[in-house]
Structure 1
Amino acid sequence: MNWMKENYFITLFLGLSVAFLMTFIISNTLSTEQQYQIKIEHGDSLWELANKFATNEPKEAWINTVMVMNNLQTSHIKAGDMLVIPEVKEDFHLDHGTEIASDSN
C-alpha cells in the first residue's frame, strides 16, 4: 500500500489503462452488426442479392442498407466489384418436425 501512495501516477495510469482495455474489448465483443464482402458476378443485381441474403427483412430495406453501406447513388452494380453487405442472419430451429412413436409395424 505504501508503494501505491508513493507512485500514485503509475497506479493511476495502470488503472486507467485497464479500464480503457476493458471498454475496448467489451465494445468489440458486443458489436451487433457484422459486415461481409462479396464479389459481384456477371448478371448479379441488388434485387437478386436481396433474394439470396436478406432473410429477415424486406428486400427494399436490405437494398437501401447495402446502397448506404457502399455509398451507391444508383442500384446498378458491375461484375468484378466488391460489395459490402450486412451479416446474413439465419434462423436456427431445433424443431425438425413432429414424429409420433409407435410400437406397431
Structure 2
Amino acid sequence: MNWIKENYFITLFLGLSVVFLTTFVISNTISTEQQHQIKIEHGDSLWELANKFAVDEPKEVWIKNVMVMNNLQTAHIRAGETLIIPEIRDNFHFDHGTEIASDSN
C-alpha cells in the first residue's frame, strides 16, 4: 500500500493505460457497418442487387436494410439514382472441392 502512495504517478499511468486499452479494444470490436454507394443502372431492381450483394443474409433482410438506409417508402428504384448499400463482402472460399492424388485417371 505504501508503494502505491509513494509511486502514485506509476499507478496513475497504469490505470490510464488500462482505461485507454479497454476503450480501444471495445471501439474496434463494435462493428460499424461500412456503407458503399452504387449508381442504379437501367433494369436494376432491389431484388437483383440483393442477388449480387447480399452474401451473408437473406435477400429480404438486405432489401429492407437498403430501404431503411435510403429512406425509401417503396422498393421501386430508378436508373440514375445513387443508393447507399451495406458493406460489400466478397464471397471467397478456399475449398472449391477436394481432389485426391492418385495414380489412376
Band of TM-score, shorter chain? 0.5 to 0.7
TM-score norm. by structure 2 comes to 0.67
Partner in structure 2 of residue 66 of structure 1: 66
What is the alpha-carbon distance in structure 2 between the residues aligned to residue 31 and residue 70 of structure 1?
23
Distance 1:28 1:41, change over 3 A: farther
Give the RMSD, CA atoms, in angstroms.
3.0
Q: CA deviation at 1:82?
A: 0.9
Quick one: which amino acid aligns to residue 85 of structure 2? Answer: I
Aligned pair in 2 of structure 1 residues 27, 37: CA closer, same or farther (>3 Å)?
A: farther
Gaps of 5+ in 1: 5-14
The size of the alignment, in residue pairs, is 96
- TM-score, normalised by the number of residues in structure 1: 0.67
Deviation at 1:95, TM superposition (A): 1.7
Uncovered stretches (5+) of structure 2, i.e. residues with no partner: 1-5, 10-15
Query: Percent identity of the aligned residues?
Result: 67
- For the residues of structure 1 that align with 2:86 and 2:44, how far apart are their CA atoms? 17
